[in-house]
Amino acid sequence: MGASEELEYLKSLVAKLNEKIRSLESKPSAGPTPATQLRTILMGPPGAGKGTQAPRIKDEFCVCHLATGDLLREQVNQQTPLGVAAKKIMDAGGLVSDDIMVGIIQDQLDNNKECKNGFVLDGFPRTVPQAQKLDGMLESRKETLNSVVQMQIDDQLLISRITGRLIHPSSGRTYHREFHPPKKPMVDDVTGEPLIQRSDDNVETLRKRLGAFHSQTGPVVDYYKAKGLWHGIDAAQSPPVVWENLRKIFVGGAGKQ
């Protein structure tokens, strides 16, 4: 091959490479694949710190926080088909069916853009049948859970935490009389509005709630342990230490399918 022929060959090669580069650059980014997403469940009794850690997980990993109690209220308020069905059941004094709850979660995964990288699920599943229905729904989406994290804390410590809890109703900000008091007693630091103590944040009610939680969720923990997804976290530690332990689980397990 002469010098001129070699030059022409190299020019054509460069042209083809430039065309390929332009083609790749013009394609929209596919975004994270399921292998890099985070799909996790946060379990724990009331007051264990789920409400503190879940927003941080949401921000750090760019996933949606699905607190099923809040989602249910939202669907009812917006009078969606699922919300209307749920309200009929609740008005009759019944429990909302597992199918409706899984439908509400699926609706979020389908339509909430924040869920495109995954989710942190809070408040569901509470029973093994619910866990099985959740698995089935995720399987239909060709997705699986990466982890199930149980925030563990002694009941007596939990009771002392919750009975001192103060809440700013409109924002959900929480304080504690002893561990995290507001700057002015019973007043929100940000808005200056009054804080409240929830009527069910008393010792007798809490003991009942904790008893129900342990008896109900014990089998769910065993279900996820058998699948190799369960992780336990000591929730009695300070929130920054709890966060570091959570983060290690998610960074280590986010790539699992």
Indicate the annotated binding residues: 47-52, 68, 73, 94-96, 123-126, 130, 165, 174-175, 198, 209, 237
Name the residue with tokens 């249910």: 72
| DSSP H or E stretch at residue 66 | strand 64-67
Of residues 198, 208, 227, 256, which has the active-site annotation? 198
Determine whether 177 is an active site residue: no
Give residue 194's identity as a one-letter amino acid code.
P
Determine whether 11 is an active site residue: no
* Burial label, 53 (beta-carbon count in 10 A; 0-12, 13-18, 19+): buried
Q: Which segments of the chain does DSSP mark as H helices, in order? A: 3-26, 50-61, 68-78, 81-91, 98-111, 128-140, 155-163, 203-226, 239-253
Determine whether 165 is an active site residue: yes
3-state secondary structure of 67: strand
Of residues 126, 173, 225, 247, which has the active-site annotation? 126
Of residues 39, 133, 161, 165, which has the active-site annotation? 165
Annotated binding site for ATP: 47-52, 165, 174-175, 237
Of residues 56, 87, 173, 209, which has the active-site annotation? 209
Determine whether 173 is an active site residue: no
Annotated binding site for AMP: 68, 73, 94-96, 123-126, 130, 198, 209
Of residues 39, 50, 133, 161, which has the active-site annotation? 50
Determine whether 209 is an active site residue: yes
- Residues serving a catalytic function are 50, 126, 165, 198, 209
